[in-house]
Amino acid sequence: MKYKIACLQMDITFGNAAQNYEAASTLIEKASSVTPDIIVLPELWTTGYDLKNLKDKADEEAQEASAFLKETAIKQKVHIVGGSVANKTESGIENTMLVFDKNGEQTGKYSKLHLFQLMDEHLYLAAGKEKGLFSLDSQKFAGLICYDIRFPEWVRAHALQDVEAMFVVAEWPIQRLEHWRALLIARAIENQCYVIACNRSGSDPNNTFAGHSMVIGPWGDVIAEAGEGQEILFAEIDLDQVKDARSKIPIFADRRPELY
Protein backbone atom coordinates (compact mmCIF):
# COMPACT_ATOMS: atom_id res chain seq x y z
CA MET A 1 0.00 0.00 0.00
CA LYS A 2 1.26 3.46 -0.92
CA TYR A 3 0.91 6.68 1.08
CA LYS A 4 1.71 10.26 0.18
CA ILE A 5 3.23 11.97 3.22
CA ALA A 6 3.47 15.67 4.11
CA CYS A 7 5.69 16.63 7.07
CA LEU A 8 5.05 20.15 8.37
CA GLN A 9 8.47 21.40 9.42
CA MET A 10 7.09 24.50 11.10
CA ASP A 11 8.71 27.32 13.05
CA ILE A 12 6.96 27.28 16.44
CA THR A 13 6.28 30.52 18.32
CA PHE A 14 7.50 30.10 21.89
CA GLY A 15 4.59 29.74 24.31
CA ASN A 16 1.96 31.21 21.97
CA ALA A 17 -0.64 28.56 21.14
CA ALA A 18 -2.91 30.95 19.20
CA GLN A 19 -0.16 31.86 16.75
CA ASN A 20 0.91 28.23 16.42
CA TYR A 21 -2.61 27.04 15.62
CA GLU A 22 -2.80 29.72 12.96
CA ALA A 23 0.58 28.73 11.52
CA ALA A 24 -0.35 25.05 11.51
CA SER A 25 -3.65 25.81 9.77
CA THR A 26 -1.85 27.74 7.03
CA LEU A 27 0.65 24.92 6.44
CA ILE A 28 -2.08 22.28 6.46
CA GLU A 29 -4.04 24.20 3.84
CA LYS A 30 -0.93 24.47 1.70
CA ALA A 31 -0.05 20.78 2.12
CA SER A 32 -3.61 19.72 1.36
CA SER A 33 -3.45 21.30 -2.08
CA VAL A 34 -1.47 18.25 -3.24
CA THR A 35 -3.83 15.80 -1.47
CA PRO A 36 -1.50 13.86 0.81
CA ASP A 37 -2.75 10.75 2.60
CA ILE A 38 -1.00 11.58 5.89
CA ILE A 39 0.02 14.94 7.38
CA VAL A 40 2.59 14.99 10.20
CA LEU A 41 3.24 17.81 12.69
CA PRO A 42 6.30 18.25 14.96
CA GLU A 43 6.71 17.80 18.71
CA LEU A 44 5.07 20.31 21.10
CA TRP A 45 3.85 22.35 18.15
CA THR A 46 1.31 24.36 20.17
CA THR A 47 3.68 25.70 22.85
CA GLY A 48 7.25 24.84 21.99
CA TYR A 49 9.59 24.17 24.92
CA ASP A 50 8.04 26.78 27.19
CA LEU A 51 8.33 24.22 29.98
CA LYS A 52 8.36 26.64 32.90
CA ASN A 53 4.93 27.94 31.92
CA LEU A 54 3.27 24.68 30.89
CA LYS A 55 1.34 24.51 34.14
CA ASP A 56 -0.73 27.42 32.82
CA LYS A 57 -0.46 26.73 29.08
CA ALA A 58 -0.90 22.95 28.83
CA ASP A 59 -4.01 21.70 27.06
CA GLU A 60 -6.49 20.15 29.56
CA GLU A 61 -6.73 16.48 28.50
CA ALA A 62 -5.55 17.68 25.07
CA GLN A 63 -9.10 18.79 24.33
CA GLU A 64 -8.28 21.84 22.22
CA ALA A 65 -5.68 20.02 20.10
CA SER A 66 -7.96 17.00 19.67
CA ALA A 67 -10.84 19.17 18.45
CA PHE A 68 -8.56 21.00 16.01
CA LEU A 69 -7.02 17.83 14.62
CA LYS A 70 -10.35 16.03 14.33
CA GLU A 71 -11.97 18.94 12.50
CA THR A 72 -8.96 19.30 10.20
CA ALA A 73 -8.85 15.59 9.36
CA ILE A 74 -12.52 15.61 8.38
CA LYS A 75 -12.29 18.87 6.45
CA GLN A 76 -9.20 17.87 4.46
CA LYS A 77 -10.06 14.15 4.27
CA VAL A 78 -6.57 13.31 5.48
CA HIS A 79 -5.00 11.19 8.22
CA ILE A 80 -3.11 13.32 10.76
CA VAL A 81 -0.21 12.28 12.97
CA GLY A 82 -0.66 15.29 15.19
CA GLY A 83 2.90 15.80 16.41
CA SER A 84 2.63 16.18 20.16
CA VAL A 85 1.17 18.68 22.60
CA ALA A 86 1.52 19.51 26.28
CA ASN A 87 -1.35 17.48 27.71
CA LYS A 88 -2.53 18.26 31.24
CA THR A 89 -3.68 15.02 32.91
CA GLU A 90 -4.48 13.96 36.47
CA SER A 91 -0.99 12.46 36.80
CA GLY A 92 0.83 15.51 35.43
CA ILE A 93 1.63 17.21 32.14
CA GLU A 94 2.49 14.70 29.44
CA ASN A 95 4.07 15.21 26.02
CA THR A 96 1.35 13.49 24.00
CA MET A 97 1.03 12.49 20.35
CA LEU A 98 -2.52 12.37 18.94
CA VAL A 99 -3.46 10.52 15.74
CA PHE A 100 -6.72 10.98 13.83
CA ASP A 101 -7.85 9.21 10.69
CA LYS A 102 -9.50 10.97 7.75
CA ASN A 103 -12.95 10.30 9.24
CA GLY A 104 -12.05 12.19 12.41
CA GLU A 105 -11.69 9.08 14.56
CA GLN A 106 -8.85 9.09 17.08
CA THR A 107 -6.77 5.99 16.39
CA GLY A 108 -3.67 6.73 18.47
CA LYS A 109 -2.48 8.44 21.63
CA TYR A 110 1.06 8.17 22.93
CA SER A 111 2.85 10.06 25.69
CA LYS A 112 6.63 10.37 25.43
CA LEU A 113 8.24 7.58 27.42
CA HIS A 114 11.82 8.86 27.64
CA LEU A 115 12.22 12.33 29.14
CA PHE A 116 15.27 14.33 28.07
CA GLN A 117 17.01 15.58 31.20
CA LEU A 118 19.41 17.79 29.23
CA MET A 119 16.42 20.03 28.40
CA ASP A 120 14.84 19.65 31.89
CA GLU A 121 11.88 17.64 30.65
CA HIS A 122 11.95 15.48 33.78
CA LEU A 123 11.33 18.58 35.93
CA TYR A 124 8.12 19.60 34.16
CA LEU A 125 6.72 16.54 32.39
CA ALA A 126 5.35 13.15 33.40
CA ALA A 127 6.59 10.15 31.42
CA GLY A 128 4.27 7.94 29.41
CA LYS A 129 3.79 4.26 30.16
CA GLU A 130 2.47 2.69 26.96
CA LYS A 131 3.65 1.96 23.40
CA GLY A 132 2.91 4.30 20.52
CA LEU A 133 1.03 1.80 18.36
CA PHE A 134 -1.83 2.91 16.12
CA SER A 135 -3.60 1.91 12.90
CA LEU A 136 -4.68 3.75 9.76
CA ASP A 137 -6.56 1.92 7.00
CA SER A 138 -5.97 -1.29 9.01
CA GLN A 139 -2.21 -0.77 8.59
CA LYS A 140 -0.05 -0.92 11.72
CA PHE A 141 2.10 2.09 12.52
CA ALA A 142 3.97 3.45 15.52
CA GLY A 143 4.64 6.90 16.94
CA LEU A 144 7.83 7.97 18.68
CA ILE A 145 8.82 11.33 20.14
CA CYS A 146 12.29 12.83 19.71
CA TYR A 147 14.59 11.36 22.44
CA ASP A 148 12.88 7.98 21.99
CA ILE A 149 15.04 7.28 18.93
CA ARG A 150 18.12 6.94 21.14
CA PHE A 151 16.60 3.77 22.64
CA PRO A 152 16.80 1.03 19.98
CA GLU A 153 15.16 -1.52 22.27
CA TRP A 154 12.08 0.72 22.51
CA VAL A 155 11.91 1.14 18.75
CA ARG A 156 12.38 -2.62 18.23
CA ALA A 157 9.52 -3.32 20.66
CA HIS A 158 7.24 -1.58 18.16
CA ALA A 159 8.74 -3.26 15.10
CA LEU A 160 8.03 -6.64 16.67
CA GLN A 161 4.32 -5.78 16.48
CA ASP A 162 4.49 -5.99 12.66
CA VAL A 163 4.80 -2.22 12.31
CA GLU A 164 5.92 -1.23 8.81
CA ALA A 165 6.36 2.52 9.29
CA MET A 166 7.28 4.62 12.29
CA PHE A 167 6.49 8.30 12.72
CA VAL A 168 8.99 10.36 14.72
CA VAL A 169 8.05 13.89 15.82
CA ALA A 170 10.71 16.09 17.34
CA GLU A 171 12.26 19.36 18.46
CA TRP A 172 15.81 18.27 17.75
CA PRO A 173 18.56 20.93 18.12
CA ILE A 174 21.01 21.89 15.41
CA GLN A 175 24.16 20.99 17.38
CA ARG A 176 23.20 17.30 17.25
CA LEU A 177 22.00 17.22 13.65
CA GLU A 178 24.37 14.40 12.68
CA HIS A 179 23.05 12.29 15.56
CA TRP A 180 19.52 12.90 14.28
CA ARG A 181 20.36 11.72 10.78
CA ALA A 182 22.45 8.72 11.87
CA LEU A 183 19.96 7.48 14.45
CA LEU A 184 16.97 7.74 12.12
CA ILE A 185 18.75 5.89 9.32
CA ALA A 186 19.95 3.21 11.74
CA ARG A 187 16.44 2.72 13.15
CA ALA A 188 15.10 2.23 9.62
CA ILE A 189 17.82 -0.25 8.63
CA GLU A 190 17.76 -2.38 11.78
CA ASN A 191 13.96 -2.61 11.82
CA GLN A 192 13.54 -2.84 8.04
CA CYS A 193 10.76 -0.27 8.04
CA TYR A 194 10.01 3.26 6.93
CA VAL A 195 10.89 6.09 9.29
CA ILE A 196 8.98 9.33 8.76
CA ALA A 197 10.55 12.02 10.94
CA CYS A 198 9.11 15.51 11.34
CA ASN A 199 11.34 17.99 13.17
CA ARG A 200 10.66 21.67 13.83
CA SER A 201 12.58 24.63 12.42
CA GLY A 202 13.49 27.98 13.96
CA SER A 203 14.63 28.77 17.48
CA ASP A 204 13.44 29.55 21.00
CA PRO A 205 15.18 31.49 23.82
CA ASN A 206 17.45 28.53 24.54
CA ASN A 207 17.84 26.49 21.36
CA THR A 208 18.15 26.56 17.59
CA PHE A 209 16.50 23.59 15.94
CA ALA A 210 17.82 21.45 13.11
CA GLY A 211 14.92 20.99 10.75
CA HIS A 212 16.02 18.25 8.34
CA SER A 213 12.79 16.30 8.53
CA MET A 214 13.36 13.01 6.74
CA VAL A 215 11.59 10.09 5.12
CA ILE A 216 13.76 6.97 5.09
CA GLY A 217 13.09 3.64 3.40
CA PRO A 218 13.48 0.13 4.87
CA TRP A 219 16.90 -0.26 3.23
CA GLY A 220 18.12 2.97 4.85
CA ASP A 221 17.76 5.08 1.71
CA VAL A 222 16.85 8.72 2.31
CA ILE A 223 13.79 9.25 0.14
CA ALA A 224 13.35 12.93 1.04
CA GLU A 225 15.03 15.40 3.39
CA ALA A 226 14.22 19.01 4.25
CA GLY A 227 16.63 21.85 4.91
CA GLU A 228 16.82 23.88 8.13
CA GLY A 229 14.04 26.40 7.50
CA GLN A 230 10.28 26.15 7.62
CA GLU A 231 8.96 23.99 4.80
CA ILE A 232 6.66 21.14 3.91
CA LEU A 233 8.45 17.91 3.08
CA PHE A 234 6.58 15.65 0.66
CA ALA A 235 7.34 12.00 -0.03
CA GLU A 236 5.65 8.76 -1.02
CA ILE A 237 6.12 5.45 0.76
CA ASP A 238 5.24 1.95 -0.47
CA LEU A 239 4.72 -0.55 2.35
CA ASP A 240 5.34 -3.45 -0.04
CA GLN A 241 9.01 -2.42 0.12
CA VAL A 242 9.04 -3.39 3.80
CA LYS A 243 7.87 -6.91 3.00
CA ASP A 244 10.56 -7.13 0.32
CA ALA A 245 13.36 -6.04 2.66
CA ARG A 246 12.24 -8.37 5.44
CA SER A 247 12.02 -11.35 3.07
CA LYS A 248 15.51 -10.81 1.63
CA ILE A 249 17.30 -10.36 4.97
CA PRO A 250 15.17 -12.20 7.57
CA ILE A 251 16.55 -10.55 10.69
CA PHE A 252 13.36 -11.05 12.67
CA ALA A 253 13.43 -14.81 12.06
CA ASP A 254 17.13 -14.92 12.94
CA ARG A 255 16.84 -13.11 16.27
CA ARG A 256 17.90 -15.01 19.42
CA PRO A 257 16.18 -13.02 22.18
CA GLU A 258 16.64 -15.87 24.70
CA LEU A 259 20.33 -14.93 24.79
CA TYR A 260 19.99 -11.14 24.75
Q: How many angstroms separate the CA atoms of 238 and 260, rounded? A: 32
User: How much is the pLDDT for 110?
Assistant: 98
| pLDDT 10s digits, 105-164 | 999 999 999 999 999 999 999 999 999 999 999 999 999 999 999 999 999 999 999 999
Amino acid, single-letter form, for residue 170:
A
pTM of this prediction? 0.97
| Active-site residue (options: 94, 121, 146, 193) | 146
φ, ψ for residue 84, nearest 5 deg:
-150, 160
User: How much is the pLDDT for 134?
Assistant: 98
| Active-site residue (options: 7, 43, 70, 109) | 43
Q: Is residue 146 annotated as part of the catalytic site, yes or no?
A: yes
User: How much is the pLDDT for 167?
Assistant: 99
User: How much is the pLDDT for 80?
Assistant: 98
Q: Please provide the average confidence, as pLDDT, over all residues in the chain.
A: 97
DSSP state of 138: T
User: How much is the pLDDT for 42?
Assistant: 98
**Cβ neighbours of residue 1 closer than 8 Å, sequence gap 6 or more:** 137, 139, 238, 239, 240
Q: How many angstroms separate the CA atoms of 15 and 27, rounded? A: 19
- How wide is the angle at C-alpha 96 spanned by C-alphas 209 and 184, nearest 5°? 50
Q: Is residue 112 annotated as part of the catalytic site, yes or no?
A: yes
Q: Which domains does the chain have, with CATH numbers?
A: 2-246 (3.60.110.10)
| Active-site residue (options: 57, 94, 112, 164) | 112
CB-based burial label for 219 (10 Å; 0-12, 13-18, 19+): middle
User: How much is the pLDDT for 145?
Assistant: 98
β-bridge mates for residue 253, sequence order: none
| pLDDT 10s digits, 229-249 | 999 999 999 999 999 999 999
